[in-house]
Amino acid sequence: MKNLKRQWKFIVVLIAGAVGLISQFALHSKSLFSIGNLQFPVHAIIIDIIGILMAISLLLEIFHDWKPGRYGVDILAVIAVVSTILIGDVWAEWMILVMMTGGETLEDYATGQANKELRALLDKTPRIANKLVDGKITEVKVDDLQVGDTILIKPGQQVPVDGQIVKGTSSFDQSSLTGESVPVTKNPGDELMSGSVNGDVAVEMKVTKAAKDSEYQSIVALVKSSQAQPAKFVKMADRYAIPFTVISLIIGGVAWAVSGDATRFAEVMVVASPCPLLIAAPVALVSGMSSMSAHHIIVKSGPTLEKLARAKTFAFDKTGTLTENQLIVDQVVTDDKSFDQKELQSLAASVEQQSSHVIASSLVKATDKDLIHPVTNLKETTAQGVEGDVDGKHVKVGKLSFVAPGHEKLNVTSTAVYVSVDGKFAGYITLKDKMRPESPKTIERLRRQGAEDIMMLTGDHKQVAEKVAKEAGITDVRSELLPSQKIQAIKDVPKHLRPVVMTGDGVNDAPSLTAADVGIAMGAKGATAASESADAVIMVNDISKVNDAVAISKHTMKVANIDVLTAIGVVIIIELIAFTGVIPAFWGAILQEVVDMITISLGLLAKTKPSDKQFGLEEK
């Protein structure tokens, strides 16, 4: 609504100018009345009315911003507008109004364009459940489920509310909630979290929590809560507002005192109009956002660029962010000298080739096709494993208790499948998340770009998390975290190590993305919940784009600061010239437009390529 209000202000100012031009030049409007030396023709009345309304609106905004301690450059805009009204320079007044409203509208437009496609979190929330009543399935609204109801979770369906399995055994993909990369087998009596996805077997579940109290819905609530409490942010121009305002008022006041003519004050105030300050940052930020887009990064708002440029702490999710969320074979360990590693993997992959389980498909994918042989007498035991005959050998692959009872003391901390051949334990194969090839380099470059702390926040097991972190070059590892604990970890970052940038994907990352000063979502595979909550979305499957985002932000803010300071310097010089009385208000407004053009041209330099140092490609 606020953005719409700003756009209407800009449109009204343009319409007022057009009507004023027609009235003055086409209709040759005459003065309706005069006060002293001031004449009030139709076009002047129209623009003055708009100017007065804008000044009142700005005063209200100043009062609103003043209360929480924010100071803006708008006070100079009000003084400039009132001054031009008092000295009767209508078109100088109109020019000031155009630049005041146009700068805000430009930034709002860019922000709106970036936000357009990112609306999906609530659409992903489960809405319908299959309730079992006297053995029959009845579709009901999720919100109507009561604690104690029994529902059916079909294969491939999302668990609608938290509950407990009462019948059936299946594997559940909880990666979008906990970050755990491997589906978890759930048996009768085990708890299920809403938002997890069922595997291949239908199960019956007793509802233990109403929809509003369940895990997935709690995540949605956390996102809303984080969005309702955005990180504090002060506009760049506000930093220079107080000194610039004070200097301008002093120059104008002294000019009035020395000359004894109030018009001299008005002339200084016209050239002191904060239009360059108001437009410098938006032009540079929009240019930076355009550069981001060219690098396949969508940035939702200009303030994101400023916070990214100053970021000191970077946090990463593991699964699907630092890793590819794809399992690869890590180790093949044999327990029988009759088999070497190659043969053991061949036998296991041959038996697993018809299974749809993620571990089985990953093992088959990682095995040379020439090593996968036909299997007969194939039998699958739900949530335990598979067995069959390969090249005359009876092979069992799966859980240790299924494959080789009696070997339960074997301590393997990684994700693993166990293998027995002809009833004898033959060994095991461990699998790990496949590290993105660009992850270690990304972490290294972030340190070169000024990152003081880099941490990994994940719901996965400690041993798995530490192994991935070591490979990526991260020493600060937080594992086995729930979404609320990730948020707390971000909130606990001390002030001197902020802003904090969080990068992740999946539903479980959405709250922590909104809790961070800057949230970056890996959106290439449609991580819509994370994208909705993020400040920036990487649209390609490449985490090194985080480096690009930081580099572009640093470059953009460097250009923006130079632009603002240059504009201030030029304006103060013109103010000093106006101090002498040689620049009438009309020509002061013209000079203002020249400064505006210089400001815009400098701001567009943000679209140029950042330096190698900003990209983190040079050694410090």
Active site residues: 317
Reference 524, options 541, 510, 544; nearest CA is 541
Listed in sequence order, the residues at least 6 apart from 464 whose beta carbon sits closer than 8 Å to its beta carbon are: 181, 413, 414, 415, 432, 433, 479
Q: Which residues pair with 192 in a beta bridge?
A: 163
Give the three-state DSSP class for 333.
Answer: strand
Q: In angstroms, how far is CA 210 from the centroid of its own chain?
A: 30
Reference 408, options 389, 390, 425; nearest CA is 425
| Residue 189: burial class (beta carbons within 10 Å; 0-12, 13-18, 19+) | exposed
How far is 28 from 8, CA to CA, in rounded Å? Answer: 28
Could you please report the per-residue DSSP string of 545-570? HHHHHHHHHHHHHHHHHHHHHHHHHH
Helices H, strands E: what count in the chain? Answer: 20, 24
Q: Cα dist. 38→25, 47, 422, 481, 611 in Å?
A: 19, 15, 107, 71, 55
Contact (CB, 8 A) for 542 and 130 = no
Q: Which residues pair with 380 in a beta bridge?
A: 386
Reference 80, options 255, 252, 241; nearest CA is 252
Measured from the Cβ of residue 28, the count of other Cβ atoms closer than 10 Å reads 8
Give the three-state DSSP class for 606.
Answer: helix
How far is 270 from 93, CA to CA, in rounded Å? Answer: 8
* Torsion sign across C-alpha atoms 152, 155, 161, 164: positive
Half-sphere exposure of 55 (CA within 13 A, CB side): 20
Q: In angstroms, how far is CA 217 from the centroid of its own chain?
A: 20
Reference 193, options 465, 484, 462, 401; nearest CA is 484
516 phi, psi to nearest 5 deg: -70, 160
Give the three-state DSSP class for 170.
Answer: strand
How far is 102 from 96, CA to CA, in rounded Å? Answer: 10
Contact (CB, 8 A) for 162 and 191 = yes
| Residue 409: burial class (beta carbons within 10 Å; 0-12, 13-18, 19+) | exposed
| Residue 77: burial class (beta carbons within 10 Å; 0-12, 13-18, 19+) | buried
How far is 567 from 284, CA to CA, in rounded Å? Answer: 13
| Long-range CB contact pairs, 487-492, < 8 A, 24+ | 487/222, 487/226, 487/511, 487/512, 487/515, 489/315, 489/455, 489/457, 490/315, 490/457, 490/515, 490/516, 491/515
Maximal CA-CA distance, the chain: 113
